[in-house]
Structure 1
Amino acid sequence: MSSQEPVLPSVSDLLDRAITALPGPLRPQVAEAVRTYKEMLMQARAPKLMFLGRRGAGKSSLINALCGEPVATIGSVLSETGRPSWYVARTPKGDLRLLDTRGIGDRTRPEASNFKNAVEEIRAALTEDWPDAILFLCKAKDVDSHIAEDLENVREVRRILQAKHRYDAPVVAVVTQVDELDPKRVEPPYADEIKQKNIRTAVAALEEALTEQGIGLAKVIPVSAYAEFDAEGRRIYNNYWNIDALVEYLVEVLPRSAQVQMARLSRIRAVQTKTARKMVAAASALAGGIAATPIPVADILPITATQVGLVVGIAYLSGRELSKDAAKEFLVALGANLGAAFALRELARAIGKIVFPVGGEVLSAGVAAAGTWAIGEAAIAYFIENRTIEEAKERFRRKKKEAEEVEKE
C-alpha cells in the first residue's frame, strides 16, 4: 500500500511507543489488536495464490475473473501455461502474485516447460516463495476422472510447503465450468432445479474425494468463470457465477496482511464491508486499550493516529487512492473544518479535536472505543457504500451514541 506511506509509518511508531507505556496487564490484550491493525494496514501486500489443475480446467479464465481483466492467456488448443513461475497480475485496483502451473498430467508440454514432470517444476518454483492458498481446479464434468491422482499432487504440494516453509496452506477446491452441466441453456444465476442438482452432485463428489485423500483445510466452491474480451482488454461477454463466494472465502483464509488487497481487488462491496469491519474492531479495541490507562490528552496522539490510519485503510479498501483530499473529505463528513494547507501528518490532531475532550482531561476507554467505532462505520458508509457526506455524518452520530449507551449499561 505505497499510497499510504505519508501517514502509516508514523502511526506505527506512535503505537509502539504507546504499547511500551501501558501497564503490564493491559499489554497482551492491546498487543493483539495492534498485530491485527498493523498486519491489515501497515503490512498489507498482494495475495499469493497457487493454481493447480489439469489442462483445460480453467486456471487462466479464473485468474482473469478474479482480476476482472485478461491478465492470463488462455490456450484453446495446446497447453499455454509454461514452466511454473511466479508473476504479478497488475490491475488498476491492485496486484495479485500468482504461481500458475501447466496442467497436471498433460501429455503435451508448453514450449516454456523444461521439466518432464509437473510436480518437479512446481517443487522448483516453491523454493523461491510460497502461496497463501492453493486453488485446485477441476472441471465439473471431470470430478470423477482420475481425481485421486490429481489430489495426490495437491497433497505433495502441501508436503513441500510444510517441509520447505513450515506452512499449512489452505486448499480451495474449485469446481469450474459448471455452465457446461445440463441444462446448458440455463444462464446464471442458474435458477433451475436440474442445474442446481447437477452442481450439487459435482460438489459432493469432489468433497468426498478430498475426504478420502485426507486433505484438510479445504473447501469446495463451484463457479463459472468464462468471459470474452476484445483486443483492448474490455470484457464483452461473461457468464460469471459464484465468483463473489470464492473471493469472500479467499479473504477469510488468507493471512491478514493479504486480506485488504484481495478485498480491494474484488470490487465486491459485501466483501469490502466485512473486511473493513475487522479493521474497525481492531482499531476500536486498540483505542480503548490505550485509553484504559491514564494518558493525558496532550499524549493521546496514538489514539487519534489509529483513527487516521483506519480512515486511510477503509478509503484504500474501497478502491480509492489515498490522498490528503480523500482524508479531508471524510473529516468534512464528520463536521471538521480543515484548511487546504493541512498536511496528512497533521490530520491526527484535527480528528482529535472532533472526538476528544481538551484541556488535560483523561480519555476514558469507552469514549475512545466508541469514537473509533463510529469513525470506522462512517468511513464504511462514505467510501465503500458511496453514501453522501450527510449520510456518513449521520451514521457517525448514531453509531457513537449507540456505543456510548452500551458503555453506560
Structure 2
Amino acid sequence: MTNRDYDRRNTINRIEKIYRNLEKILDSLPKAFPSAMKDQIKDLILGDDELKKIIEDLEGYRPPKFFLIGRTGVGKSSLVNAINGRYLAPVNDVYAQTRGVDIYDYKQEDQILLQILDTRGLSESLALDDNISAEEMIKKELRAFLPDLCLFMLNASHRDDIGRDVRFIKNLCEDYKKNSGVELPVICIINKVDELAPSRFKDPSQYPLSKTKNINEVVSYYGDIIKKEDLKLESIIAVSSLMDWKLDDEFIDADRINDLAIEDLERLELAFDGRYKIDELIDALEDAIVDYKAVMGLRIACRMDKIMGDLADKLTQIFSAFSATIALTPIPVADLYPLFALQVVLVTLIAGLSARDISLKSSKEFIMSIGGVGIAANIFRFSAQQLSKFLNIFSITAGSAVSASVAAFGTKAIGEAAKNYYIEGIDIKKVKKELRNKIKKEKTKKN
C-alpha cells in the first residue's frame, strides 16, 4: 500500500481550485479549438454529478474517532502509524506508552487526521482513584467522546484467554447504546502476525504457507471465543503493523525513537514496510463507519493517493466520452487537432491534482514524449481509416463508430498514462512502455 506524505489541506485546496478554475483552463485553449466544443466540455465536467459529489465530500469531512482497547503490548500506536502510512505516534517495543484513559489527536502539520480514545491495557484495569473504577471511567469517556468505532486489539503471538476481555467490551458497548441510543460498531484486530512462526519471515510477500496457516488458526481461535461470548463484530482481521524507520539513511531502533526531537520525528522515513492486510483493514473501517463525513476523513488521512486517482479516472472518463462524441462527426484523419488539444487539457488537469503546476505546452510535451501522438497516427491510419472505407459501403454510421471508439481509446490511454506518471509516480520509461503495449493490443483488435 502507498500513501505518500501529502499536505492534506493544501492538496484539498488545490483540487478545489482546479475545479473552480476549469472554465479558465478551457478558455486558455487556442482559438483554433472550436468554441462550441469548449462549451460542451465545460458543461460535461461542471455538470457531472459524481465529480461534483467528490468535490463536495472533500469540503465536508471530519477526522474519524476510534476507541482503541487492548492489552498492553498489542501495538496500538504502531497500528495507527501503519494505517496512516507515516510516523505519527510514539512507538516502543518494551514500555507501555499510555496510562489511564487518554484522547490523542494524530496530526500532520496543524491538521487533525485521527482522534483516538486510548485505554490502559485491559490487564491494568485497576481503580484510577478511590471513587471510580477504570470501567466506569471508560464508560464516562466513551459517552463524551462519541467514537465512530471500537477497535478491539489482540496479540497474534499470544493465545490469551480473552473471555473476560470480551465480556468487558460487551458491557461497554451495551452501556454506550443505553446512554447514546446508537450501537458502537466493533472491529477485532489481531496484530503482530509477523511474530508468528516461522517468525524470520517479515516480508508479507514471502510468508510461507505454514505462516499463513498459523495466521488462520489464530483468527479461528480468537473468533470462537468472541462468538461464544456473543460479542457482535463488524469484522475480525489479522494484520501486521511492522514498520521500521530511518533518519538521514540511518536505521533508528525502536527504543531510540522517543528520544528524537520533534523536528526529527517529522523527518522519519520508512526503512522497511512489513505491513500485512492493512488495506483490507482500512476497507473494513470504511464499511463500518456510519457517518460519511468520518469515512471521507479516513480516506483523506490514509488514502489521498486513491482520492486523486479516482478524480483522475473520472476526468479521463469524461474526456474519453467527449472524444468519442467529437469523432462521430466523423473526424478526418488529417484533422485530429481538437482531439489532441482535448488530451493536452486532460493531462494538465491530472498533473495539477498532483501539485504539478504545468502549462498546456508542458502537457503537450509529455504526450509527445510518451508517444501519445502516435496513437492517432498508428491506429487511425492503419485501422479506423481503412475500416471506415470498408464499413461505409454498408452504413455511414458504422465508419463513424469505428473512429469514435479509437478516439475514446486514445484519450483514455493518455489519461491513464498521466495518472501513472503524475499521481502514482511511475517511472516515465515504464509509462511509455505500457502505453506502447496498449496501442499494440488495440491495433491488433482493430486490424
Q: TM bucket by the smaller chain?
A: 0.5 to 0.7
Q: Which amino acid counterpart does residue 312 of structure 1 have in structure 2?
A: G
Indicate how the Cα distance of structure 1 residues 153 and 303 shifts in structure 2: closer, same or farther if over 3 A, else same: farther
Say whether 1:85 aligns with 2:103.
yes
Structure 1 residues 11-22: aligned runs within 5 Å: 11-12=19-20
Indicate how the Cα distance of structure 1 residues 18 and 4 shifts in structure 2: closer, same or farther if over 3 A, else same: farther
Q: Which amino acid counterpart does residue 5 of structure 1 have in structure 2?
A: N
Please, which of 188, 196, 212 is the counterpart of residue 202 of structure 2? 188
1:198 counterpart residue number: 214
1:117 counterpart residue number: 137
Indicate how the Cα distance of structure 1 residues 18 and 257 shifts in structure 2: closer, same or farther if over 3 A, else same: farther
**Overall identity of the aligned pairs, in %:** 21
Q: Distance in 1 between matches of 2:117 and 2:273?
A: 21
Can you give the 5+ residue segments of structure 2 that lack an aligned partner in the other structure?
Answer: 1-7, 24-38, 245-253, 287-294, 330-336, 377-399
TM-score, normalising length: structure 2 = 0.57
Structure 1 residues 255-334: aligned runs within 5 Å: 255=295, 258-259=298-299, 261-264=301-304, 278-288=310-320, 308-313=348-353, 315=354, 322-324=355-357, 332-334=365-367
Say whether 1:392 aligns with 2:431.
yes
Alpha-carbon shift at residue 80 of structure 1 (Å): 1.7
SS of alignment partner, residue 174 of structure 1: strand
Indicate how the Cα distance of structure 1 residues 161 and 391 shifts in structure 2: closer, same or farther if over 3 A, else same: farther
Alpha-carbon shift at residue 201 of structure 1 (Å): 1.7
Structure 1 residues 333-352: aligned runs within 5 Å: 333-335=366-368
Q: Distance in 2 between matches of 1:87 and 1:219?
A: 25
2:395 counterpart residue number: none
Alpha-carbon shift at residue 66 of structure 1 (Å): 3.8
Can you give the 5+ residue segments of structure 1 that lack an aligned partner in the other structure?
Answer: 265-271, 316-321, 337-350, 356-361
SS of alignment partner, residue 220 of structure 2: helix
Q: Which amino acid counterpart does residue 368 of structure 2 have in structure 1?
A: G
1:177 counterpart residue number: 192
Alpha-carbon shift at residue 246 of structure 1 (Å): 0.9
CA contact (8 A) 2:67 2:150 kept: yes
CA contact (8 A) 1:85 1:101 kept: yes
Q: Which amino acid counterpart does residue 122 of structure 1 have in structure 2?
A: L
Structure 1 residues 188-267: aligned runs within 5 Å: 188-189=202-203, 191=207, 195-209=211-225, 211=227, 213=230, 215-225=232-242, 228=254, 229-230=256-257, 231-232=259-260, 233=265, 241=274, 243-250=275-282, 254=286, 255=295, 258-259=298-299, 261-264=301-304
Q: Which amino acid counterpart does residue 125 of structure 2 have in structure 1?
A: R
CA contact (8 A) 1:188 1:239 kept: no
Indicate how the Cα distance of structure 1 residues 77 and 204 shifts in structure 2: closer, same or farther if over 3 A, else same: same
Q: Distance in 2 between matches of 1:85 and 1:302?
A: 50
2:125 counterpart residue number: 107
Indicate how the Cα distance of structure 1 residues 71 and 108 shifts in structure 2: closer, same or farther if over 3 A, else same: farther
What does the per-residue CA deviation read over 1:47-76, in whole Å, with 9 as the maximum and x for residues that have no partner?
Answer: 635142224122112223444555323575
TM-score, normalising length: structure 1 = 0.61
Say whether 1:379 aligns with 2:418.
yes
1:53 counterpart residue number: 69
Alpha-carbon shift at residue 120 of structure 1 (Å): 2.0
State the superposition RMSD in angstroms.
5.5
Alpha-carbon shift at residue 78 of structure 1 (Å): 5.9
What does the per-residue CA deviation read over 1:307-350, in whole Å, with 9 as the maximum and x for residues that have no partner?
Answer: 6443333x3xxxxxx142599866532138xxxxxxxxxxxxxx
Indicate how the Cα distance of structure 1 residues 3 and 61 shifts in structure 2: closer, same or farther if over 3 A, else same: closer
2:290 counterpart residue number: none
Q: Distance in 2 between matches of 1:383 and 1:52?
A: 36
Say whether 1:9 aligns with 2:24.
no
1:38 counterpart residue number: 55
SS of alignment partner, residue 120 of structure 2: coil
What does the per-residue CA deviation read over 1:208-255, in whole Å, with 9 as the maximum and x for residues that have no partner?
Answer: 4555536353241232537614433487999864x2421354157533
1:347 counterpart residue number: none
Indicate how the Cα distance of structure 1 residues 109 and 292 shifts in structure 2: closer, same or farther if over 3 A, else same: farther
Q: Is the radius of gyration larger for structure 1 or structure 2? A: 2
Indicate how the Cα distance of structure 1 residues 219 and 39 shifts in structure 2: closer, same or farther if over 3 A, else same: farther
How many residue pairs were aligned? 354
SS of alignment partner, residue 250 of structure 1: helix
Alpha-carbon shift at residue 87 of structure 1 (Å): 0.8
CA contact (8 A) 1:19 1:31 kept: no
CA contact (8 A) 1:259 1:275 kept: yes
Q: Distance in 1 between matches of 2:359 and 2:161?
A: 52
SS of alignment partner, residue 8 of structure 1: helix
1:64 counterpart residue number: 81
CA contact (8 A) 2:139 2:172 kept: no
